[in-house]
Amino acid sequence: MYNVKSAEFTRGIVGTNEILLGEKPQVAFVGRSNVGKSTLINSLVGKKDLARSSSNPGRTQEINFFLVNENIYFVDLPGYGFAKISKKRREKMRKMIVWYLSYADSKPKKVILVIDSKAGIKEFDRDMINLLKEEKIDFVIVVNKIDKIKKSLVKKVIESIKNEIGDDNIDLIEFSSKTLQNKNKVLSEIFD
């Protein structure tokens, strides 16, 4: 079992300024808004409101760094595509995500791409998968809110997501912040 003893907000960045966090590894979380990315991060660290929902204004349009167990950074990338922000702002957020994954001075050792099990793979997710492959960044896909899928249909849903991705080598992890199923598996992806 992985034990998260501490998790603290370190800083948020809004532009493409230097990250300056030192040598500690980073694991980044990326996903469309409302896929449950902040709830996932909070579940993993066992804190209620460390990461903020993308449906709230403020810190969520920044790249937020959280120092976990004093030895690794969780990097919460802006939730992409929130309806209530302007197209211009959305494009700026997309650029920040691409900048962090492609050009920043310290790249993440792994990316957790979060999708909503009901929504499946969208254009943004496809773009991210292509970018992560290009940048040779290790990643897994967390298929979130799996509690919303009828048990008898889970296998089918996973199969169809695999088909949408068209690559059998990508790991999919079923997850739910309600049941916390596979929490340890996600943590092992981060800490191992």
What are the beta bridge partners of residue 31? 114
Which residue number, 16 or 34, has a Cβ lying nearer to ligand GDP?
34
Q: Does 64 bind ligand GDP (CB under 6 A)?
A: no
Residue 78 binding ligand GDP, by CB under 6 A: no
The tokens 């300056």 sit on which residue?
A: 20
- Residue from 36, 78, 81, 108 touching ligand GDP (CB under 6 A): that is 36
Out of 28, 78, 139, 145, point to the residue binding ligand GDP (CB under 6 A): 145
**Nearest distance from residue 169's CB to ligand GDP, in Å?**
25
Calpha distance 4→44 (Å, rounded): 8
Binding of residue 26 to ligand GDP (CB under 6 A):
no
Question: In the complex with ligand GDP, which residue's Cβ is closer, 33 or 61?
Answer: 33
Least Å from the CB of residue 160 to ligand GDP: 19
CA–CA separation, 148 vs 151, rounded Å?
A: 9
Q: Taking the complex as a whole, how short is the minimal distance between the CB of residue 58 and ligand GDP, in angstroms?
A: 13
Considering only 10, 16, 34, 182, the residue that binds ligand GDP (CB under 6 A) is 34
Interface residues toward ligand GDP, by CB under 6 A:
31, 33-39, 53-55, 79, 144-145, 147-148, 176-178
